[in-house]
């Protein structure tokens, strides 16, 4: 059992050592530390990096040295990864950074549409039904663009909008099929993400219908707990083990690790 998606204090998680020790205690064979990063040069994104400290583009070498030390101290594989915010305007900056940093693998995520975080319900409560549908459509446009860019090994939480009450349930079968076709023709694969599975919302990514469509298209999946706190890892690992067994899923490693 592996977990290819956890965070540390190099973005918005617990101390790196604490996260790795929790992964070891959960009985994992390997854990991927994939801290948030944004490589955009636009002024707004530079401001967001300053406010939230998502500066892995500056600190990745320091984190890499820490990972190397931890590899000698624990009985599991530790992967040096990244979760990059994706915007099609930033493709050149993302590509340059990923080629320079040479992570073990890269995760891509769509977190924003038109400058608004799609996980924040208050951004959408005052919109009309049609406007909400347009946000969902734009989200999937961005996701397909991410997949087709071939920049990433993994696409994270591929229906992130399901976390957001005003946007939940608005995705269409046609949108799911379009994404599945994009994965079918790409090296990028989706993840089974347990980041909201054990909350009151009980959201697992992808949605059951979406997951079945991915299976219809013979799209491989990988797994990640998306843990930001050390205490989350064990329970989410247990959940994923049961989920994979119940769904008869055999996840794979991110493609870069298969070489």
CATH number of the domain at 51, please. Answer: 3.20.20.140
| Partners of 196 in beta bridges | 203
Residue 54 lies in a domain: yes
Question: How many domains does the chain divide into?
Answer: 1
In the block, which residue shows the tokens 């690790």? Answer: 257
Give the phi and the psi of residue 77 in degrees, each rounded to 5. -75, 140
Q: Helix, strand, or coil here: 113? A: strand
Q: What is the largest CA-CA distance in the chain?
A: 55
Specify burial of residue 114 (Cβ count, 10 A radius: 0-12, 13-18, 19+). Answer: exposed
Distances (CA, A) of 68 to 49, 61, 81, 170, 251: 26, 11, 13, 44, 26
Question: In the numeric block, which tokens belong to residue 141?
Answer: 């446009």
What's the domain range around 81? 2-189+212-241+248-257
Residue 199 lies in a domain: no
Helices (H) and strands (E) counted in the chain, each on its own, are: 8, 10
Residue 48 lies in a domain: yes
Angle between helices 230-247 and 16-25 (to 10 degrees): 40
Residue 203 lies in a domain: no
Terminal C-alpha separation, the chain: 19
> What is the rounded distance in angstroms from the CA atom of residue 54 to the CA atom of residue 9?
10
> What is the rounded distance in angstroms from the CA atom of residue 23 to the CA atom of residue 107?
19
Cβ contact 68:58 at 8 Å: no
Give the pLDDT of the chain (259 residues) as one tens digit per residue.
999 999 999 999 999 999 999 999 999 999 999 999 998 888 777 777 777 778 899 999 999 999 999 999 999 999 999 999 999 999 999 999 999 999 999 999 999 999 899 999 999 999 999 999 999 999 999 999 999 999 999 999 999 999 999 999 999 999 999 999 999 999 999 999 999 999 988 999 999 999 999 999 999 999 999 999 999 999 999 999 999 999 999 999 999 998 6
| Partners of 30 in beta bridges | 2, 77
Residue 194 lies in a domain: no
Residue 21 lies in a domain: yes
Estimate to the nearest angstrom the gap between the alpha carbon of 179 and the chain centroid. Answer: 16
Angle between helices 129-149 and 173-184 (to 10 degrees): 10
Residue 6 lies in a domain: yes
Residue 195 lies in a domain: no
């Amino acid at each position: 059992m592996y977990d290819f998606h956890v965070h540390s204090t190099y973005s918005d998680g617990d101390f790196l050592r604490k996260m790795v020790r929790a992964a070891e205690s959960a009985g994992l064979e390997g854990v991927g530390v994939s801290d948030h990063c944004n490589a955009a040069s636009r002024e707004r994104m530079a401001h967001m990096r300053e406010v939230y400290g998502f500066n892995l583009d500056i600190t990745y070498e320091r984190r890499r040295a820490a990972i190397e030390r931890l590899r000698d101290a624990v009985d599991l594989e530790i992967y040096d990864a990244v979760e990059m915010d994706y915007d099609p305007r930033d493709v050149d900056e993302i590509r340059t950074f990923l080629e320079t940093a040479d992570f073990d693998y890269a995760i891509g995520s769509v977190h924003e549409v038109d400058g608004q975080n799609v996980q924040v319900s208050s951004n959408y409560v005052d919109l009309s039904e049609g406007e909400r549908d347009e946000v969902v459509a734009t989200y999937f446009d961005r996701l397909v663009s991410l997949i087709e860019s071939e920049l990433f090994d993994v696409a994270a939480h591929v229906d992130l909008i399901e976390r957001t009450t005003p946007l939940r349930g608005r995705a269409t079968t046609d949108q799911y099929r379009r994404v599945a076709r994009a994965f079918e023709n790409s090296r990028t694969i989706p993840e089974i993400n347990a980041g909201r599975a054990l909350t009151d919302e009980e959201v697992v990514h992808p949605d059951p219908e979406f997951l079945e469509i991915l299976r219809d298209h013979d799209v491989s999946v990988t797994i990640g707990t998306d843990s930001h706190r050390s205490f989350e890892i064990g329970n989410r690992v247990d959940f994923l083990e049961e989920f994979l067994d119940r769904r008869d899923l055999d996840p794979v490693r991110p493609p870069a690790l298969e070489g």
